Every structure is written in C-alpha cells, then in structure tokens.
Amino acid sequence: MQNNKLSIAGMLFFLFFINSYAFPQKTFNIWPGAAPGSENWKQQEETIKNTPVGTVVVNVLTPTLTAYLPDKSKATGTAVIIAPGGACIALAMKSTDQLATSLREKGIAAFILKYRLKEKKEQGIPKDLNEDTACQYGIADAVQSIKFVRAHALEWGISKIGILGFSAGGMIASEAMMEKDTTARPDFAALIYGAPFASMPVIPSKLPPIFMCWAQDDEIAATTMERFYKALISAGHKPEVHIFNAGGHAFAAKKQGTSSDHWADILNYWMQAEGFARKE
C-alpha cells in the first residue's frame, strides 16, 4: 500500500512537472544588434508591478518578442503579434499576458512585443505628448517583429501572421498594417480601442482583413476609432467592427459585467470566419 502511495505521488509530481514546462516561453531580440534610431539611448528598463493597471514596463531600450508557442498537436499555423498599450510611454502588460495564454490554448502562436519607449522622466502622461513622435519606435519594432516571425515561420510551423494592438498598441498595429513595403504587412490586424491618435495616415487601397472594437463610453479612444473607421470605409475597405455600449477604455484587462467582457470571444469568431482560427 505504501509503495502504491509513493507511486501515485511520483506520478502526480511528474504530471505537474510536465504541465509546468509543456509550453516554455522564449524571448527573442528582434533586431540584429542595437535597434536603429536608438543606438545612443542610455536608460535602464524597469518593470513596475502591482500598479492600478497591473504590471507596467517603462524605458524599454531593447525590443523583444516573447513567444507563447502552442503544442504542435494543437497548432493551427496562425500567429498573432500582440502590442500592449500605454500611450507609447509605458507598456501595460496585463491584457497582453491574458490574451497570449488564451490564444496558445486555441493552438495559435502568440508573441508579445515589447517595443521601444523613450526614457520616462515624469509621472503620468506628458501634457505635450504627440503619439506620432512617441510611437515611431514602436511602429518600426512592430514591422520588424513581423519580419522576424516570418523569418522563423518554417521553424515554428506558422503560415499566417496577424498583429493585434491595445490602445497605443492599436495605433502601432494600424501603422504596421499600412506599411509601405507590402511584403512586411501582416496577414490580418485587430485594433482594440486603438488606431491613429494624432495625424490621419494615407490609407492604401489594399489592406489585409481588419477587426476593430471599442466602447461608446471610451473617452480616450472612441472618437479616434470612429474617425479611422470612417476613413477605412471611404478608402473602400470593410473592417469588422464591434462597438460596445459600455466598457470604457482598456476593458480587455477587466471583467465589468458588460458585453465588452466578451470581446475576445467575438474576435475568435471573426478569426474562425476568416480562416485564421480553428472552428469550434
């Protein structure tokens, strides 16, 4: 009897060990050497935990991708690069971590992009913040991240690469989607309460499939999202759009009892319809 108990205990430990390491996360530098344009930066990256919005990263000098690769038996061949929000002065990581884990469980490879941020020298959001200027490094890193994943696509069993961004990450994703080099564009894009916040870019005549969602009571991004949506329609595009009646800004990171709680399910249904996710 004692031997049986030991055997069972050993088996449970083994299963725990396997589950703990079945999905190892690896982090990759996306640029060979120093990222262009920030070679002379000197700041030290800092991770701040337990803020009102969860873990926040500031002063990013070296842009990276953290891979959440699914088990090969479940892999769909689709990858999603996730760009966090934070007004391009910080990176709010809670939404990205939650989504990456969920996508991996569905057989989709997720890559969290930690893009460059200029040194933060004051508390809060600067009054003179210009997103076009602040996000330029993040946009370059997003385009490079797509190239990086494509370069490893055969190794990782990936055939389709999408990009998803929250808030300022949505602006970064939208610019990567419209990259002048068409070969560097993603196969699809999802803009979650984020699009061009400052000047409106010239919208190309051909773009990959686009998913957009925001809440009507979002005082930060609703106007921006509506403006970009109308611009896309005027340019001949037909994005998938979901406008929740409530949820505010950054609803992806919290449960509020509103329909916006189910934004990720709606995204998954759209990805299934477009052939980017396995139908359930």
Q: Is residue 7 part of a domain?
A: no
Question: Domain residues for 221?
Answer: 24-274
Q: Is residue 17 part of a domain?
A: no
Instruction: Convert the pLDDT of each residue in 77-106 to its tens digit.
Output: 999 999 999 999 999 999 999 999 999 999
pTM of the model: 0.90
Report pLDDT for 146: 98
**Could you tell me what percent of the chain has a pLDDT over 70?**
91
Q: Is residue 15 part of a domain?
A: no
Non-local CB neighbours of 135 within 8 Å, separated by 6+ positions: 88, 168, 171, 172, 175
Report pLDDT for 200: 94
Give me the CATH number covering residue 161.
3.40.50.1820
Residue 172 φ then ψ, to 5°: -60, -45
What is the count of structural domains for the chain?
Answer: 1
Report pLDDT for 128: 79
Distance of alpha carbon 42 from alpha carbon 45, whole angstroms: 10
23, pLDDT greater than 70: no
Instruction: Convert the pLDDT of each residue in 171-211 to its tens digit.
Output: 999 999 999 999 999 999 999 999 999 899 999 999 999 99
Q: Is residue 280 part of a domain?
A: no
Q: Is residue 101 part of a domain?
A: yes
Q: Is residue 173 part of a domain?
A: yes
Q: Is residue 106 part of a domain?
A: yes
Quick one: pLDDT band at residue 24, thresholds 50, 70, 90?
low
22, pLDDT greater than 70: no
Task: Give the mean pLDDT of the chain.
Answer: 91
14, pLDDT greater than 80: no
What's the average model confidence in pLDDT over 34-53?
94
Helix (H) or strand (E) holding 101: helix 94-105
263, pLDDT greater than 70: yes
* Alpha-carbon distances, residue 105 vs 38, 71, 146, 157 (angstroms): 36, 9, 22, 16
Report pLDDT for 19: 39
Non-local CB neighbours of 29 within 8 Å, separated by 6+ positions: 62, 63, 64
Distance of alpha carbon 170 from alpha carbon 27, whole angstroms: 22
Tell me which of 22-36, 181-195, 224-238 is least confident.
22-36
Q: Is residue 10 part of a domain?
A: no
21, pLDDT greater than 70: no
Report pLDDT for 125: 76
Instruction: Convert the pLDDT of each residue in 110-151 to its tens digit.
Output: 999 999 999 988 777 777 788 899 999 999 999 999 999 999
Distance of alpha carbon 7 from alpha carbon 5, whole angstroms: 5
Non-local CB neighbours of 237 within 8 Å, separated by 6+ positions: 203, 207, 210
Tell me which of 52-56, 67-71, 193-197, 200-204 is least confident.
52-56
